[in-house]
Structure 1
Amino acid sequence: MSTTASDPLATLGSLPGVADAVDSVRKSVDRVYGHRVMRRRSHEITGEAALRGARGSAALSGADWNLEEVRRRTDFSGDTEARTIGAALRLTSEAGQLLSIWRQSPLRVLARLHLVAAGGVAPGDTVGRPRLAGEPVDEPLIEAPLPHADEMTGRLEGLAGLVLAGSEAPALVTAAIVHGELLALRPFGSCNGLVARTAQRIVLIGSGLDPKSVCPAEVGHAEEGRAAYIAAFEGYLSGTPDGMVAWIAHCGRAVELGVRESTAVCEALQRGAA
């Protein structure tokens, strides 16, 4: 059996340029994990990374709030932007609790993530399940053609199968493909971007690359900006080697920018300024 057939994610990992992105991410992650503050106050870094990651993910879904406003608010039941922020915060809080289930049933985790994000907002009979034929999808920013429900279901099951089968691919590659495929499929009626970015977070944590969840890629995606995010995603949609490499490299830069954010938090704590 060929490598492509037996481990397609590993095949993507062998594309020219991917190894450099993976190596750069690994070195960046190792540096923040080696910071002296991480050895004593990692729980504080994890909490800040969750908050900042949620803010970044919400920004990409149309709710670009100041970090201090996100930190200050306690009620997120108001307008659409407030609900988006609240959904992103709930998802980042939930991510770390779903690792063992992800390894056994990715589809259950995705359903749970959608329930957490959209419960109480979306129509009750659409929450926590993939969309059916003819059901609309409300997804800010992503304007790519929407796969038919039958195609979506087949590809979603295929993605879950890849996760369950395991791979020799680096964590960055697996996380990027999970993220990109969920954006492409938009399996739910709402909150697909938020769910996709949370799934990426779960892969990075569960793989051991970022076990303490202190490297919020969502921060980096937001910092790179919506235009760059969409341009890289279009590379994923193209399915070409160059497009896939561009998407994986973009996800790698996002992780590195998340690392930079957490490193700054470490430095502030060390100075006693935070």
Structure 2
Amino acid sequence: MTDPLAPLLDLEGVAAAVKSAQDAVFAVHRHPANLRAGAATAAEASVRAARASAGIDGGDPDIPAEGSVSDPVLAGSLRVAEAVESLLPVWRRAPLQALAKLHVLAAADLTADADSLGRPRQGTAERLELLGQLVTGATSVPGPVLTAVVHGELLTLRPFGTADGVLARAAARLSMVATGLDPKALTVPEVACFRHVRKYTAAAEAFASGEPDGVREWLLFCCQSYETGAREATGIADSAG
């Protein structure tokens, strides 16, 4: 059976970028602090990822020193971050079910229509099903490629109509873990997307075009974000000692 994503590795520069991203992320897992456990790095990475993801979608990324989080985008992003680890088995087995649960968490404070939570918009079912097949074994491409495709496809499809950006980045995080690219969820590629949000948005739009050059632009951006996320994780681990 032909692997539908295999041709992406033939796009100029993609294979080399994938290898570089893998090397950077794997190095984080060999950091002395992470060899012992990595729990402290993972916990801090999760919070930083949630804050950056909320910021990308226009939320306030700052967590109040006192009191509860009032920004609805950030609140949803933090709920999603907290649930990622528990949703990993569901993602591996039934990714569309995991997406529905993520949407309930991400968008709870963003819509007055509770019945719409976790329910994809009409016209998205076929592409979501194809994406689910990729996640559950229809491709054997390296983790960076599958993660980028999951991320880009969900940004393109916007399957729920609310909190789709937070959802897409959480799904990408799940993909990084599930593919073995970042099994302990130590890295924070979301910070690169936040710091370079215009480039991130432009690359996502290029991916959505479906043109080879556009897809290549997105894949290269994502691979660079994995490297940036690895550097962020190294800083966290250094601080943790």
TM-score range, shorter chain: over 0.9
1:109 CA drift (Å):
0.6
The answer to whether structure 1 residue 238 and structure 2 residue 234 are counterparts is no
1:184 CA drift (Å):
0.8
Correspondence for 1:263 among 231, 234, 237: 234
User: Which residue pairs with 2:154 in the alignment?
Assistant: 182
What TM-score do you get using the length of structure 2 for normalisation?
0.94
Q: Does structure 1 retain, via aligned residues, the 8 Å contact 2:22–2:144?
A: no
The answer to whether structure 1 residue 14 and structure 2 residue 10 are counterparts is yes
Correspondence for 1:210 among 156, 178, 182: 182
- Tell me how many residue pairs correspond in the alignment: 240
1:13 CA drift (Å):
2.4
| Separation of aligned partners in 2, 1:241 and 1:231 | 15
| Separation of aligned partners in 1, 2:194 and 2:65 | 20
Q: Does structure 1 retain, via aligned residues, the 8 Å contact 2:41–2:240?
A: no
Q: Does structure 1 retain, via aligned residues, the 8 Å contact 2:151–2:169?
A: yes
Correspondence for 1:124 among 114, 121, 126: 114
- State the SS of the aligned residue for 2:5: helix
What residue ranges of structure 2 are gaps of 5+ in the alignment? Answer: none
Q: 1:84-104 CA distances to partner (integer Å, 9 max, x unpaired)?
A: 111111111111111211122
User: Which residue pairs with 2:82 in the alignment?
Assistant: 93
- State the SS of the aligned residue for 1:88: helix
User: Which residue pairs with 1:48 in the alignment?
Assistant: 44
Q: Does structure 2 retain, via aligned residues, the 8 Å contact 1:91–1:113?
A: yes
Identity of aligned residues (%): 39
| Change beyond 3 A, Cα 1:74–1:219 | farther
Residue identity opposite 2:156 in structure 1: A
Residue identity opposite 1:266 in structure 2: A
Larger radius of gyration: 1
| Separation of aligned partners in 1, 2:101 and 2:129 | 16
What residue ranges of structure 1 are gaps of 5+ in the alignment? Answer: 132-148
User: Which residue pairs with 2:63 in the alignment?
Assistant: 70
1:155 CA drift (Å):
1.3
Q: Does structure 2 retain, via aligned residues, the 8 Å contact 1:96–1:205?
A: no
1:39 CA drift (Å):
1.9
- Stretches (4+) displaced over 4 A: none
Residue identity opposite 2:26 in structure 1: D
Residue identity opposite 1:199 in structure 2: A
What TM-score do you get using the length of structure 1 for normalisation?
0.83
Correspondence for 1:222 among 194, 200, 217: 194
Kindly report which structure 2 residues correspond to 1:112-191, keeping only aligned pairs within 5 A, or say none. Answer: 112-122=101-111, 123-131=113-121, 149-150=122-123, 152-191=124-163
| Separation of aligned partners in 2, 1:221 and 1:62 | 13
